[in-house]
Amino acid sequence: MTITFHIREIVTELDLGLDHLPLKRALEELGLSSQAYLAVRSGELLTEGDILHTGDVVQLIPVISGGSQ
């Protein structure tokens, strides 16, 4: 059973054999920093303590931008 993550045009599925897990753990499993992405489920912004469930679709919005000063 999987949780699906969309990062722009990239789709990643996470299956740890769990029914649910906190967003923080999911990001760690994906090797992503919680500082570098906003997580959105059904239009709602998630905090790292929010629980993700099997079948959830989560959009990860990259927040890091670069440029000269």
Partner 1 sequence: MSYIRCQVCGQRASIRMRQHRLNYCKDHFLEWMLKHTDSTIQKYRMFGRNTRVLVAISGGKDSLALWDILWRLGYHADGFYIDLGIDEGLDYSSQSRQFAEQFATSRNLALTVIDFKKEYGESIPTLAARTQRGKGKPCSICGMVKRHLMNQAAEQGGYSVVATGHNLDDEAAVLFSNMLGWNQTQLARQAPALSGRDGMAGKVKPLFRCYERETAAYAFLQRIAYIETECPFSAGSTSISYKHLLNQMEDRSPGTKMRFVMNYLKAKEDGFFHIENTNGQDEGLHPCPVCGQATSNPDMCVFCRTIGGTPPDKAYR
Residues that bind partner 1 (CB under 8 A): 8, 33-36, 38, 40, 44-45, 47-51, 61-69
Q: How far is the CB of 59 from partner 1 (least distance, A)?
A: 10
Nearer Cβ to partner 1 (17/66): 66
Q: How far is the CB of 54 from partner 1 (least distance, A)?
A: 16
Nearer Cβ to partner 1 (14/39): 39
Distance CA 35, CA 3 (A): 20
Helix locations, 1-69, DSSP H: 23-30
Distance CA 12, CA 31 (A): 12
